Structure formats: C-alpha cells, structure tokens
A and B are shown apart, each in its own frame.
Chain A
Amino acid sequence: MKKTIKLVSVGLCLLLGLLTGCGGETASADTDGGSAGGNTSGSSSSGSSSEDGGDVIRIGFFAPLTGNSMQYGVSFQNAINMKVDELNQAGGIDGKQIEIVAFDDKNDPKEAVNIANKIVADPSIQVAIGSFSSSCSMAAAPVFDEAGILHLGPTASHPDFVNMGDKAFTIAMPMKFEGAADAEYAYKKTGGKDMAVIYLNSDYGVSHSSVFKDAYEALGGKVVAFEEFIPGQTKDFTPIITKIKQENPGALFVIADYSDGANIFKQAKNLELNCDLIGPGMLIKDEFIDVAGDAVDGLLMLSTLPIYSEEDRENEDSAKAAFVSEYQDLYGVIPDGFPANAYDCITLITNMISKVGYDAEALAGEFRQVGRYEGVSGNIAVDPDTKEVKRDLMVYTIVNGKYAVDEIVPST
C-alpha cells in the first residue's frame, strides 16, 4: 500500500516536472518578480497588524495573480512594487517605509470579498488598491465602505462603482463616457457609416456597447447589427460574423478582450467581411497583434490608456520615459496601459499620504480635490462632486503590425 502511494506521488511529480520544466524560461521571468514580492508581504499581514501607526505605512492590494487574468494583476503588482521600492529607498514617506500587502483574487468576485474582509481586519490598513475587473472591485467595495477604508480601483470603469461608497475612487473613465466618446469619434472618422457591433457579454461589454449604440444613433448613424457573445464559451465566432456580413456594414466595432478580439478579426477576414475595423483600448496587448496578424492591419484603436513602445524611453515627457525605461529594465518587457494605470494609482495615493498623512478620511477629501492630474497613463480629471473621471481619448492605428499614434482627443 505504501509502495503504491509512493509510486503514485513520484509519477505525479514527474508529470509536473515534465510539464513545467519545458517552457519555464519563457514566461516565468516576469511573474516571478511579482509574486515574490506578494508572497512575503502577503504572509506577514497577520503578524504585525497590532502595531497600528508604527513606522510602516501598510497599503492593501488585490488583483488576479493567478488564473486566466493573471497577466493583468501581475503587471499591476510590478508597477506598484516598482514605485514603492523607489520611495522606500529614498527614505519612505516622513521616514516611514511603505509596505504593500498583496492578495490574489483569481478574478473571482467571491474571493475578492474574502480578501476585502481580510484587509479590513487589519486596522493599520487605510487604503486598498484593486482589483482588475469591475466585478471584483464592486464585490469588494461594500466591505471597504462599511469599514471606512479608501478603495481605489485602477480599472474599475463600471458606471456604478464610484457610487458604492463615499471613499470608493477610480482613475478609469466610466464606460458611459468612454462609450460615448468612442461613438463620437467613430462617427466622425467613418463619416457615419453603417456600424456593426460585436460585444462581450460582461459588465464592461454590456454597458460599453449599449452606450456606444445609443450615442452612435443619436448622432444620426445606423447600427445595423448588434451581436453579443458569452466569454469563455467558444473561440468560433463565425456564426455571428456571417450574420453581420448579411447586413453589409461599413464598419465593425468589436468590444472583446485581446484573445477573443483577435479571433473575431481573423475570422472576419477569413469570411471576407470587408469594412473599417474599430476596437476599444481593451484589446491592447502585445499578444493581440501576434495572434491576429495581418487581419487587423488598419484597425483603429480608441483607447483611454496609452500604448508604449521602445521609442517611449526617449519620450519628451520625462515622467513617461522614466516609467517605461525603469519598468522595462526591471521586468524585461515594455509596459502597457494597465501597469501605467496602477503606477498612477500608487503615485497619487503616496503623494497624498505625504501631504495629509495616512488617514482614509483625509485622503478621500484630498482625492476629490485632485482636479486634473497628468499621470504616466494620460491625463486624468476627477469631478469633485461625482468622483467620476474623464480621460483623453488616444487614437492608434495598426500599421504593419505596430501601433502608430493617430491623434489625441482631449476630454471635454
């Protein structure tokens, strides 16, 4: 009996070794850096919770660090650790070191609530940053609201998020503004062509697409096809593309994550759907062009987040250049807009802490008064009453497999 168990465990280990060993060097480099930081700070969370107001400033952070959205969460963590290490090396804030207490929510709202409870159980934490998806951020928000902790969602673009508590903030433009801005630009650029929309059935996709549709029709355009798909169900979108082709649209607007988006554009090309291609910033990811290939040549990308390239290391904007080169030096990849957003979050918060101290109430008051802030992820304008954020619309075109800056439309 014992022998069999031994055999079995040896077999399993071999199997694991076989699988993890082959491709370890390709992807583990960037995740290792991130999770190592998360591990140490995460495990120490219970130990020092009693030393309230000691010589460290403890900030909660949660994002998907494993699972199918881990690349976003890990990049958030990388950016935040980068900023914090930098501050700590310069002596911290008022002599106090900053400590990030990191948690993994696997992009699962239930986990996010667990984590929120874990964070509020630690009285020394006044600020929580997270998560990646609006669902997770919104599931956690009531817990933070009840505990009176400032909750900052880097990418929580759900229109109701900021209403979930008087200390719930985000630096993402709510979908209602983004959808309208996209529609306005698309209408102007295509000259009001008949529009077909394919959208992801998620909180983001549903709100974004319905606002887009209403705004496009209000401008006098026609939305001839409006098709949804359920995420994680299929990689084959030919049925809806065929249906759309029937309507002869002049332009196709696809709201999807990079992976499904790449598949949709590729399959549209294979089915010979020839029209203007437009997509939101959600698609931006290096892998998007890798996977989609020449099917997305000429695609117009309407984004509220920037796309960086090698050239941005010598950007005229020195803050941006510093961020891009430092991030690349540390983690080996050019950052995209998501870590830039997280970087702005931590920078904003730490700036405010050094101004008004580490207290949720004071920080919330300060946040409302931010007004216009020029971050590495673009210009952010916070409405002092509604806490809603407006951002510039950055337009990129894909030319020969590269993003090229088209224009920047300032927020109104």
Chain B
Amino acid sequence: MFFQQVVNGLTIGSMYALVAIGYTMVFGVLKLVNFSHGSVFMVGAYLTLELSLALGGNFFLAAAMSLVLTGMLGVVIDRAALRRLRVKKADRITALISTLGVGTILDNAVMIGFGSETKAFPNVLQLGRFTIGTTVISWVQVIILALALVLMAIMSVIVYRTQMGCAMRATSQNADAARLMGINVNQVIAFTFFIGSLLASIAGTMYGMYYEAIDPLMGSVISMKTFACVVLGGVGVLPGAMLGGLLIGVVEAVGASYISSGYRDAIAFAILILVLVLRPQGILGKKVADKL
C-alpha cells in the first residue's frame, strides 16, 4: 500500500506543481501573492471544455485556443487591476486585495455563465493503466508528472537563458533600476503574466482530463495549496515550486492514509510550518530580506 500511496501523492503533487510553476513565475517577478491565479486556472479548464464543445469535439484545437486566451486574460488582469497600483507605488498588500477581487469576479462570472454544477470533462488520453505488483499506475499520471518536469525545464531555460528571462530577473530584483537600464518593465510583467496564465491553462486542462470533471470552485480549492507549495519550495525558484508541490502531495497522501483522513490538510500545513520555522526562506529559496 505504501507505494500506491506514494504514487497517489506524486500525482496529487504534480498537479499542484503544474499550477505552482505558473504561480511562482508571477510571484517571483512581482513579489505579489496573486490570489487570482487559482481562478485563472479554472477559467483555463472551462475555456478548453466550452471551446471543444463549440468546435464539435476538436479537443486539441480547443486546448490550444484556451492557452492563448487564458494567457491574454492574465495580461488583461495585470493591465486592469495591477498596473495602476504599480504606478502609484501602492502597498503590496493592496495588490493582493485587488487580485482577490479579480478572483471573485472570475469565479462568479463562470458560475453565472456556465452554472455551478460539476461538469464532465473529456479525457482524450485514454491510455489505460499498468500494474507493478499491487500498485496501479495510469499513463495519465505518468504524463502529468513528466509534463510538470518538462514545463519546469522550459521555464528555467526561459528565465535563465533568454534575454526576456534576464529582463524578468532584473525586474524582480529592482524594477526601478531595471527601468533605468532601458527595460520596458510593464512589457516584462505583461509577458510574465501571459506565461503564468498560459501555464495555468495547461494545468487546468490536465486537471480536467485526469479527474474527468471540473467545477467553478476547483481554483479556490487548489490555490491555497499552491501558495503553500510555492512558499515551501522557496518563492520564485522554479525547481522549488516543483519540489514543494510533490512534497505536499506525498505528505497528504501518506498522512491521510497512515494518520487520519480528516486531518489530511492539517498534516500538510503542519509540515509546512515546521519547515518554514527551521528554514525561513523555504527549501530551495535564497535568503533575502522581504516585505509584503
């Protein structure tokens, strides 16, 4: 049973990691707790589903369109709800409340538009499953884990090997200095939001395919956990988000099974608090002074 629980945990964890990678991009560059990310993730899943219904079942085209549209939604959120706050040099907590408002708007708009019922989601990857001993593993689980790793690698390349990535890191360290160096900070942030939201859409679509169901509250359920994963791994560190996600997933699964299913989340949070007390900057985080 232990191995099965680890597999379960890794799957839950790679789902968190998928969302967390996008989350940590925005988090890293803007030092902003983006409470709308979970809702964007949900919108991505809904766009894929509704577009594929509208396109008569052409799932891959729908998923691709959803990627772009959700990415654009991220840019719109930044433009509409956050850029002005940057110009005004408002407290960062103000931006946090603003993203909370955006999250509320998105959740309720989807609920009004598509209804609050849970909807069936097509799983186009009917690849079956295999067993090792008594442990059952489905191919979709393998794909989700692999996809999280691949996306993490791609994002690392973008952040550390491209000019845009360099600009992102510069903006993250000191936006004013970056502007003086001739970097178009607003453009960089818009790009970050685009990528972050695009990743959220991928995560949303994968989530839908794996659980074969989506509902308007799926974002708020996962966003708190993702926040925890990002902080646990170290803010703005891509492998940290991955590690944080997998760790919390496995702790949840093993804790639910060997300790208590009712305290599943409590165990995960207790571990998080413990790690942070011992290592305040997160597992892979670098020590920097930070103020919210």
Contact = CB atoms under 8 A, between A and B. Distances in A.
Asked whether any CB of A lies within 8 Å of a CB of B in the complex, the reply is yes
B120 A287 contact: yes
A19 B108 CA distance: 10
Interface in A1-43: 4, 8, 11-12, 14-16, 19-24, 26-28, 31
A68 B217 contact: yes
A262 B105 contact: no
Contacts of A20: 109, 112-113
B213 A259 contact: yes
Among B46, B106, B113, find the residue whose CB has the most chain A CB atoms closer than 10 A. Answer: B113
A243 interface: yes
Interface in B254-291: 254, 256-257, 261-262, 264-265
Categorize the interface residue count of chain B: 35 or more
Among A12, A239, A287, find the residue whose CB has the most chain B CB atoms closer than 10 A. Answer: A239
B118 A266 contact: no
Contacts of A70: 111, 116
Nearest to B140: A270
A269 B217 CA distance: 24
B129 interface: yes
B138 A270 contact: yes
Interface in B1-50: 1, 4-5, 8-9, 11-12, 15, 43, 46-47, 50
Given A23-B50, A240-B256, A233 B264 contact: yes
A290 B81 CA distance: 37
B57 interface: no
Contacts of A201: 262
Interface in A259-311: 259, 262-263, 266, 270-272, 285, 287, 290-291, 293
Given A239-B257, A263-B213, 6 more contacts: A19-B109, A19-B113, A69-B116, A230-B264, A235-B213, A238-B11
B50 A68 contact: no
B5 A26 contact: no
B176 interface: no
A379 to B, nearest CB: 29
Given A19-B43, A71-B116, A271-B136, A229 B213 contact: no
Given A16-B109, A26-B115, A262-B118, A232 B9 contact: no
Contacts of B1: 242-243, 245-246
Contacts, number: 149
Contacts of B212: 266, 291, 293
B177 interface: no
13 contacts: A19-B110, A20-B109, A22-B54, A27-B114, A68-B217, A229-B261, A233-B221, A235-B218, A258-B118, A270-B136, A271-B136, A291-B212, A291-B213
B120 A67 contact: no
A155 to B, nearest CB: 18
Interface string B235-250: 0000000000000000
Interface of B: 1, 4-5, 8-9, 11-12, 15, 43, 46-47, 50, 54, 73, 76-77, 79-81, 84, 105-106, 108-120, 129, 131, 136, 138, 211-213, 215-218, 221, 252-254, 256-257, 261-262, 264-265
B114 A239 contact: no
Q: Please give me the 6 A-B residue pairs with the lowest Cβ-Cβ distance, nearest first.
A: A27-B115, A259-B118, A11-B80, A239-B256, A238-B8, A19-B109
Given A15-B76, A235-B218, A287-B117, A8 B213 contact: no
A295 B112 CA distance: 30
Interface in A50-78: 66-71
A336 to B, nearest CB: 12
Given A19-B109, A71-B115, A8 B264 contact: no
Categorize the interface residue count of chain A: 35 or more
Given A243-B1, A263-B213, A11 B79 contact: yes
A227 interface: yes
A401 B129 CA distance: 23
A386 interface: no
Contacts of B79: 11
B118 A291 contact: yes
B76 to A, nearest CB: 6
Given A8-B80, A12-B105, A232-B217, A239 B116 contact: no
A21 B120 CA distance: 21
A359 interface: no
B205 to A, nearest CB: 15
A245 B73 CA distance: 43
Nearest to A21: B113
Interface string A223-234: 000011110111
